[in-house]
Amino acid sequence: MLCLLGLLFGALDGPAASTPDFSPAAAILQRGIKERAFPGCTVVVGTADKVLWSAAFGRLDYAGGAPVTTQTLYDLASVTKVAGTTAVFMQLVQRGKVRITDPVSRFIPEFLALAPSAEDKAWRQRVTLEHLLTHTAGLTAWKPYYRSHTNYAAMLRAILTTPLESDPGARTRYSDLGLFLAGEAAARAGGKPLAALERELVFGPLGMTNTLRNPAPGLRPRIAPTEKLPDQERFAHGVVHDENARAGEGLTGHAGLFATAEDLGKLAAELLRADAGQSQWLTRAVLAEFARPHNLAPDSGRGLGWGIERDAKRVLSHNGFTGTYLRIELSRKMYLVLLTNAVHPTRDNHQLGAIRREAIQAILEAVDKSGGV
């Protein structure tokens, strides 16, 4: 009788989820290596409470370098914007240090003082942290400041003296400059350099022991090299690939972090716990504010720091120029991280996009076919 009751209630509960089969995704990534989309990669897929898949493929470079492992560090490039700067802002908001609607000039008075014209100053008076984090502040997308500036302070002043290109809220213009300023605003609001706030508020509490800026030389064997440096035989290896971030001493809000895929998975898992109201680090309300579309401009739909997939349900994502990617599926209650050094040996390689899309689709299908997580 007990056996029959067990079978009955088991049937009512529905079929148990099986272990996802990620072998099709693994085959796609191995094909990417064979087709020289990237020399190697690491991938992690998980949920709020467990890692479903953690794997490494290929080598650090195309010259017979060491095999990639799950402990390989990759230059995150613009994934820094969410793993570092945005995560710090989540904590500053939660602790009451900032409000997203605060004007940038509250924290960076020079933002007004160094305005190059009266019209520009009038625009700047209306620019908020929300504008910076949604790329709707009217700032220039990018300029090669690294050609004439070689330290963080000089880079900051150069950005502060560059005129806005449009009225804040007029349009979305993805801007490294905006996240540079956001990082500086976070530092001033938190009373410490951005790198210190990242360690204190994010990496330390979440156990992200393999996420850092300006890696020590002794870590170089674990770091995937990126692009060959101009007019040199050596590669950017253990120094940030982004030229403006490099000129900014690796300390800027838009780029500069190095990390393992498993470390990014720790952040993603915590955000999934926050979405379920189960995080001690972040409240559900703060996550919801960062994860919703902030329609400040007619063509906008970004979250705070995060990109929001338009044709999917509650999906946050961000990629990096070096070949990095972080995706959090709030509705599916899962995340995936894919780190590569696709700019090695040069950035003239455009094969990553197609391979990554195939791999993502295969990962999602594996999870869905297994009955979900």
For the record, the structure tokens of 278 come out as 């189960």
Arithmetic mean of pLDDT, 166-174: 96
Residue 87 confidence (pLDDT) above 90: yes
CA–CA separation, 180 vs 156, rounded Å? Answer: 8
For residue 311, the model assigns a pLDDT of 78
pLDDT band at 5 (very low <50, low <70, confident <90, very high): very low
CATH architecture of 20-96+193-369: 3-Layer(aba) Sandwich (3.40)
Domain ranges of the chain: 20-96+193-369
Q: DSSP strand E in 183-245: where?
A: 211-213
For residue 17, the model assigns a pLDDT of 65
For residue 91, the model assigns a pLDDT of 98
Q: What is the pLDDT of residues 21-46, one digit of tens each?
A: 999 999 999 999 999 999 999 999 99
How many CA atoms lie within 13 Å of 214's alpha carbon, on the beta-carbon side?
10
Residue 149 confidence (pLDDT) above 50: yes
For residue 355, the model assigns a pLDDT of 98
For residue 327, list its beta bridge partners. Answer: 317, 336
Q: Which amino acid is at 175?
A: S
Q: What is the pLDDT of residues 288-307, one digit of tens each?
A: 999 999 999 988 889 999 99
pLDDT band at 6 (very low <50, low <70, confident <90, very high): very low
